[in-house]
Structure 1
Amino acid sequence: MSKDSETPEERRERLRQEEWKDNLGGNLNDSLNRGNNGSLVDLVGGLGWKGTGILIIVIVLGFIVYSVFFR
């Protein structure tokens, strides 16, 4: 597959793999932390743009409700 016809998700994954090849020590640390905590990149990549928008709206509405009722 050429680099021109790849999807944004494939491009992101390819760039992440290239970065891991260049930084082996950081890769070990990142892998240990990602296993425990997860990753925002993986979350947003899995949700897509609609899911990410809904997540942001829910967070903002939750903050508004919290600030109104718990002041």
Structure 2
Amino acid sequence: MESKQEAPEEKRERLRQEELKHNPFGTFSDGINRAQSGSLVDLVGGLGWKGTGILLLVVIIGYFVYKLLF
């Protein structure tokens, strides 16, 4: 008997869909605010751990280059 483990991204999306199904107007303002400003959680969730590491590395290197030049 094979037991399929649910990936964290799949579980997060399933829980979000269930919340929207049970309480569509309770999260309406959250969705509007997130659409306007973006969410770090959504960014990191979409990139995965490798993408997040690369993003952090680019930000840190960019900061040091900025400090050296200015």
TM-score, L = length of structure 1: 0.70
Paired with 1:13 and 1:47, the residues of 2 have a C-alpha distance of: 15
Structure 2's unaligned 5+ residue stretches are none
Count how many residue pairs are aligned between Structure 1 and Structure 2: 66
Q: Secondary structure at the match of 2:6?
A: coil
Residue 54 of structure 2: aligned partner = 54
Q: Is 1:37 paired with 2:53?
A: no
The residue correspondences of 1:1-71 to structure 2 (distance < 5 A) are 5-17=5-17, 21=22, 24-25=25-26, 27-70=27-70
Q: CA deviation at 1:54?
A: 0.4
Q: CA deviation at 1:17?
A: 4.5
Structure 1's unaligned 5+ residue stretches are none
Runs of 4+ in 1 over 6 A off after TM superposition: none
CA RMSD of aligned residues (A): 2.2
